[in-house]
Amino acid sequence: MLLYYFKLAMLSIRKTPLLSFLMIATIAIGIAATMITYTVNYMMTQDPVPGKSDRLFTVHLSSWDPNVGYRMKDGKEDIPIFMTYQDATNLYTDQRAHKQTIISFHKAMVRSAAQPRGQATMTYLRPTTHEFFSMLNVPFLYGSPWDASDDSQGSQIVVLSKKKNEQLFQGENSLGREVVIGGLIYRVVGVLDEWLPLPRFYTERSDSYSEPRGLFVPFQSSINNDWLSGTDGSVYCWGGADLIDLNALKASECVWLFYWVELASAELRDDYLAYINRYAQEQKALGRFQREQMNRVMNVAEFIEYNEVVNKDGRIAVWLAMAFLIACLLNTMSLMMTKFHGKGAEVGLRRAVGASKVDIARQFFCETVIIGLAGGAIGLVLALLGLYVTSEVYSHLHAGLMEMNLSLMLLTIGSSVLASTVFGLYPIYKACQIQPSSQLKSL
């Protein structure tokens, strides 16, 4: 029976090509607009560390100037999202979380040892500690992260991103090879596999949708080398700090390091915060932390929300597109009314030869499903096209944001079918109400 209805639906669509085309096109355009904006938004708001994001926390301390607050946010005083060198290293030394990592920044001229000096390029690096990789589920292609002793010694070793490894070593297994970073020799101990956390939540908002940095080195090695660059990350200071060299920065109250911890379970959050507050009290006794204490830990979702990583325009666009889809569907709905109205004679006839209202409803339902399917399929093509155009127009965002995965593709088709059937309900209801006797009169 279903097949019969589909056959009838196809015939009916072919019979009124303009009307059917208008219906399908309107749905397709509406669905495409919605899916384009939704895809970008969906990709922006994905969980960057699935299964773990409620156990990863960033730690923020109230170490700021006793005289003036750090800044106002939403009408309330806010504290920095970065930490001072002293606090980050104090907490790191304590090792009170299951895992913890300090995240810093630096830039330098980088080349492989085999390349001539002139081929060095300005490269942004990520000085951090060894648990960074396991905390963020970073996949390795070759080698492995360095270990705790490399962190304490500040070994001159480096982990390369897959892309960087291709640039420096043509993608070969480069373990043991040497990279020259700012004139110093670093040995490769690991190469990452494809890794693109979206959003890149562990750093500043402006970097959220760009690619991760290509070189990771032990934080302590950047300290040993007196590396300091103020222009590829943020340093916030108070009390007339002097930023001329690393030692000045280390001794200052300037904040510039991200500090993330992984707890064994989300429930341990309060315990860990209590520890942080105890630490703050100790520091207060030493004369620091003189402001009201607002220390906090934020998990990944909270920090993404706080950092306003997800583009406001993106969410507005989804709402606009959904409203647009509704306008399109209302249009389709009135076209369906017209279409089914025009089939009054057929309905009358079918009712006369014994089709019940339910039979008629099924027949037209199949038709709306087919229209929805066709609208969804064309909509999907339009959406993919639209996303391609979008990724050209929004070239500053990572192209990964403008790609549909399979479930989004299915969602496109599914929502189109759903939309067309829901908006087809009333026209179908009206069609079923047609009095057969009114349609068959010959006089």
Partner 1 sequence: MLQTISENAKGYNMLKMRGVAKSFVTKTVETQALQPFDLDISQGEFVAIVGPSGSGKTTFLNIAGLLEAHSEGQYYLDGKDITGLSDRSKSSLRNQKIGFIFQSFNLIPELNLFDNIEMPLRYRTFSRKVRAQRVMEALEKVGLAGRKSHYPQQLSGGQQQRVAIARALAGSPSFLLADEPTGNLDSKMADGIMALLKDINQQGTSILMVTHDMDQARQAGRVVEIRDGYLTEQQLALTA
Partner 2 sequence: MKDLQPIIKSLLRAKTAPLLLMLQIAVTFTILVNAVFMLLQKSDEINVPSGLAENELFWFQMSLHGTREEKKTSLFRDLDAIKALDSVSGAVALSSIPFSERGAGHEIRLERDAVGYVTKAAFYSGSYQSLETMGLELIAGEGFTINDERRLYNFGLDVPSGVIITKVLAEQLYPDDWRQVIGETIFLDEDAQPVRGVVEHLIGPWSFWKNRSFNVLFSNVFITPEVSILVRIQGDNIDKSMQDVMDVVMQEPRRTVDHLEVMTDSREKAYRAQVAAYSTLKAVVLGLALITMLGVFGQTRFAILKRRKQIGTRRALGASQIAIVRYYVIENAVINLCGIVLGVVLAVVANNLLVAHFQLEPVPGLYLVYGGVIIFLAGFLAVLQPAIRAASISPAEATRSV
Site for partner 2 in 252-311 (CB under 8 A): none
Distance CA 429, CA 407 (A): 32
Q: How many CA atoms lie within 13 A of 395 on its CB side?
A: 2
Residue 411 in contact with residue 36, Cβ under 8 Å? no
The least CB distance from residue 368 to partner 1, in Å, is: 18
β-pair partners for 128: 103, 218
The DSSP call for residue 211 is: P
Sequential DSSP letters for 405-418: -HHHHHHHHHHHHH
Q: Which does 356 bind (CB under 5 to 8 A by kind): partner 1, partner 2, none?
A: partner 1
Rule CB under 8 A: say whether 323 interacts with partner 2. Answer: yes
For partner 1, which residue of 346, 364, 397, 404 counts as binding (CB under 8 A)?
346
| CA–CA distances in Å: residue 359 to residues 16, 363, 422, 437 | 22, 6, 18, 17
Q: CB nearer to partner 1: give 144 or 356.
A: 356
State how far the Cα of 237 lies from the Cα of 253, in Å rounded to an integer. 7
Q: Is 355 in the site for partner 1 (CB under 8 A)?
A: yes
Of the candidate residues 17, 396, 406, 438, the single one contacting partner 2 (CB under 8 A): 396
Hey, what are 130's tokens? Answer: 């060894």
Q: How far is CA 160 from CA 103, 125, 141, 167, 214, in A?
A: 16, 10, 10, 10, 6
CB 262 within 8 A of CB 52: yes
Restricted to residues 374-393, the positions that interact with partner 2 (CB under 8 A) are 390, 393
Among 185, 266, 358, 389, binds partner 1 (CB under 8 A): 358
Residue 12's binding partner out of partner 1, partner 2, none, with CB under 5 to 8 Å set by partner kind: partner 1
Task: Please provide the DSSP assignment of 97-146 as one string.
Answer: SSEEEEE--EEEEEEETTS-GGG-EEEEEEEE-THHHHHTT--EEEE---
Which string of x and - marks every residue 339-368 that binds partner 2 (by CB under 8 A)? --xx--------------------------
Regarding 213 and contact with partner 1 (CB under 8 A), the answer is no
Among 349, 377, 409, 425, binds partner 1 (CB under 8 A): 349
Of 418, 228, 232, nearest in space to 325 by CA: 418
Under the binding rule (CB under 8 A), the answer on residue 50 touching partner 2 is: no
Residue 354 binds what, of partner 2, partner 1, none (CB under 5 to 8 Å, by partner type)? partner 1
List the one residue from 6, 140, 306, 394 that touches partner 2 (CB under 8 A): 394
Closest CB to partner 2 among residues 14, 396 = 396
Report the partner that residue 71 touches, choosing among partner 2, partner 1, none (CB closer than 5 to 8 A by kind): partner 2
Q: Of 135 and 347, which has the nearer Cβ to partner 1?
A: 347
Pick one of 264, 316, 327, 440: the residue that binds partner 1 (CB under 8 A).
Answer: 440
Minimum Å distance from CB 66 to partner 2?
Answer: 11
For helices 344-352 and 312-342, give the axis angle rounded to 10 degrees. 60
Which position has the token pair 């009169």?
441
Chain centroid, CA 26 distance in Å: 30
> How many Å apart are CA 378 and CA 412, to the nearest integer?
10
**What does DSSP assign to residue 401?**
G
Smallest gap from residue 204 Cβ to partner 2 (A) = 11
Using DSSP, state whether 58 is helix, strand or coil. Answer: strand
Q: Of 262 and 346, which has the nearer Cβ to partner 1?
A: 346
β 184-192/157-160 pair status: parallel
The residues binding partner 2 (CB under 8 A) are: 19, 22, 26, 29-30, 33, 65, 67-68, 71-72, 75, 107-109, 122, 182-183, 206, 228-231, 237, 240-245, 248, 312-313, 315-317, 319-321, 323-324, 326-328, 330-331, 333-335, 337-338, 341-342, 390, 393-397, 426, 430
Would you tell me which residues interact with partner 1 (CB under 8 A)? 1, 4, 11-12, 14-15, 345-346, 348-359, 435-437, 440-443
